[in-house]
Structure 1
Amino acid sequence: MNSLNITNLSKTYANGVKALNNVSLEIPTGMFGLLGPNGAGKSTLMRTIATLQEADEGTITLGDLDVLTQKNEVRKVLGYLPQEFGLYPKVSPELLLNHLAVLKGITNKKERREMVKALLHKTNLYDHRKKNLGGFSGGMKQRFGIAQALLSNPKLVIVDEPTAGLDPAERNRFYNVLSELGENTIVILSTHIVDDVKELCPNMAIINQGEVLLKGNPTKTIEKIEGKVYQKTIKKNELEMYKQEYKVIAEKLLQGKPVIHVLSDHNPGNDFIPIEADLNDVYFSQIFG
């Protein structure tokens, strides 16, 4: 199973919202970042790949498997960590993983015990294996989510908005688990946090309003706008004027003052200074460009 291939995938909800519009992606082994704002269609795409939702049109294949018709076969090789997942607060991670392994069809007790132990070590939860899940921090819960997603050694792992609300140390621990995983598995990381993708993924796509706006290697996408991004500190009441005159791709506050980034083929003058482009500039140039 070398890659996941999505071809011309479309989905319109009953209320008329077109969540996916002719989406085509080839996702190889390794970490793949799916970037987009909330409501862009990322979760619809993730749920469809995870066999939890039907598409209106298009195909998805995972190696020789047809994801849209061979759902049970796909589920055997799929690990899924949704954006929201429930835990039994009064159960230990060791016990719950063991129970989930039984549901996954791992009936050999010794094999199950070894697998649970290995996953608890991999996600740095072994020392907490007897504690109740209800007392876990947000990051520990997410790492448990990865542990359950890795039961039965999946070929494809889908992780939807995993680091929202995690502190920097928890995010780093989470990154380490994911990057190790991506060495021989297809891992799709769906997020609106640009840094998650920049730090982890050799391949990515940006999606908005159900359409793929850009796909490629993060570093190469940055190279395409290098030398075209300029910055200026402005007054708060000037923002709309600058938006009308320039292609403003980002705005932020620095020490209480608005700073804007603009995209321009030539130096715009007017006290703008050239800056080194980063993935945030690529992202916002696609979303707001």
Structure 2
Amino acid sequence: MELRIEHLNKTYGNGVKAINDCNLTIPRGMFGLLGPNGAGKSSLMRTIATLQEADSGSITLGDIDVLKDKDAVRRILGYLPQEFGVYPKVSAENMLDHVASLKGINQRAERKELVAALLHRVNLYDKRKSNLGTFSGGMKQRFGIAQALLGNPQLIIVDEPTAGLDPTERNRFHNLLSEIGENTIVILSTHIVEDVTNLCNDMAIICLGQVIAKGHPAELVREVNGSIWSKSIHKAELPAHLEAHRVISTQLKGGKTEIHVFSESQPDASFHAVNADLEDVYFTRIGERMELELV
């Protein structure tokens, strides 16, 4: 089974074109959707999850027409939105049992067994009697994955799942997503480049509602390798370098500003070549798209 998106468009009432002729084919496994805030990631995820209508285009999940047969999609969909609310005074066990009943799992004994298995899987079984309001951010995200896994979904969408998590919870969440992605289509929508680097074998970069790059992370890195140059400068020198070179990123290190520049050849002798990474790909592609927008 694969998810196929063709010529998808969505413009909101205020004139913002959130999805602009989007085309993607997403196979089974972990798929990273990378883009800055406001790029259209959440709009695309909400459309796939049948939470909003598209203006035009098509989405198919295997033989299912996602835009027309929403009930069929919802039966095999797990969704963890960016803003995942919980009832603070309800225990994890009771809340998951309630969601399971809403998903059509009517036998009480079956629900009890399933809820226990899922809480074990996300390492929350020992906290099953605790109210959700006492959970940390990472625990709430793991509970969110547990509810998304109810009903054995074939497509799971997680929108900005690691934002705000501490390193320990983030690693735990990464491991859980990797395990789920072995047999399921999992779309990881994020602006955190490292999450996609660590988790995904296939990915796309979206900007201003358009897919501007797609492929295996390593392949996308190879496309820019040999064209990324670095130099440490004083902050006051930055405007001149922005004027003279195609600066794709800046980072403060040890009191000085390290700049990365995209250039087919060495800009001058003061620059040294660096091995490109996915962050360089990301900033290069986003910069190209934004430059086109200004033309």
Question: What is the correspondence of 1:148-159 to structure 2 with a 5 Å cutoff?
Answer: 148-159=147-158
Letter in 1 for 2:261: V
> Which residue does the alignment assign to 2:184?
185
Range moving further from structure 2, 218-227 or 141-150: 218-227
Letter in 2 for 1:30: G
Letter in 1 for 2:202: N
Shift of 1:243: 1.4
> Which residue does the alignment assign to 1:278?
277
> Which residue does the alignment assign to 2:206?
207
Shift of 1:212: 0.6
> Which residue does the alignment assign to 1:22?
21
Question: What is the correspondence of 1:44-193 to structure 2 with a 5 Å cutoff?
Answer: 44-193=43-192
Shift of 1:238: 1.6
Provide the secondary structure at the position in 2 that maps to 1:177: helix
Question: What is the correspondence of 1:225-236 to structure 2 with a 5 Å cutoff?
Answer: 225-236=224-235
Shift of 1:252: 0.8
Provide the secondary structure at the position in 2 that maps to 1:288: helix
Cα-to-partner distance string for 1:59-89 (whole Å, 9 max, x where unaligned): 0000010000100110000000000021011
- Distance in 2 separating the partners of 1:57 and 1:104: 29
Cα-to-partner distance string for 1:42-75 (whole Å, 9 max, x where unaligned): 0000000000000001000000100001001100
Letter in 2 for 1:14: G
- Distance in 2 separating the partners of 1:173 and 1:121: 14
CA RMSD of aligned residues (A): 0.7
- Distance in 2 separating the partners of 1:241 and 1:17: 34
Shift of 1:226: 1.1
Letter in 1 for 2:97: N
Flag structure 1 segments of 5+ consecutive residues without an equivalent: none
Shift of 1:256: 2.2
Range moving further from structure 2, 74-83 or 268-277: 268-277
Provide the secondary structure at the position in 1 that maps to 2:10: strand
Identity level (%): 63
- Distance in 1 separating the partners of 2:73 and 2:260: 44
Shift of 1:246: 1.1
> Which residue does the alignment assign to 1:41?
40
Shift of 1:267: 1.6
What TM-score comes out, normalization by structure 2 length? 0.96
Cα-to-partner distance string for 1:166-197 (whole Å, 9 max, x where unaligned): 00000011011100000110000000000000
Provide the secondary structure at the position in 1 that maps to 2:176: helix
- Number of equivalenced pairs: 288
Shift of 1:266: 1.0
Range moving further from structure 2, 245-254 or 47-56: 245-254
- Distance in 2 separating the partners of 1:262 and 1:255: 19
Provide the secondary structure at the position in 2 that maps to 1:68: coil
Tell me if 1:256 matches 2:282. Answer: no
Provide the secondary structure at the position in 1 that maps to 2:270: coil
Provide the secondary structure at the position in 1 that maps to 2:117: helix
Shift of 1:32: 0.3
Cα-to-partner distance string for 1:16-61 (whole Å, 9 max, x where unaligned): 1111110000000000000000000000000000000000010000
Range moving further from structure 2, 186-195 or 254-263: 254-263
Shift of 1:269: 2.1
- Distance in 1 separating the partners of 2:129 and 2:6: 45
Range moving further from structure 2, 7-16 or 239-248: 239-248
What TM-score comes out, normalization by structure 1 length? 0.98
> Which residue does the alignment assign to 1:222?
221
Letter in 1 for 2:91: S
- Distance in 1 separating the partners of 2:19 and 2:36: 14
Flag structure 2 segments of 5+ consecutive residues without an equivalent: 289-295
- Distance in 2 separating the partners of 1:154 and 1:259: 45
- Distance in 2 separating the partners of 1:198 and 1:278: 9
Superposition misfits of 4+ residues, deviation over 6 angstroms: none
Shift of 1:240: 1.8
- Distance in 2 separating the partners of 1:85 and 1:164: 12
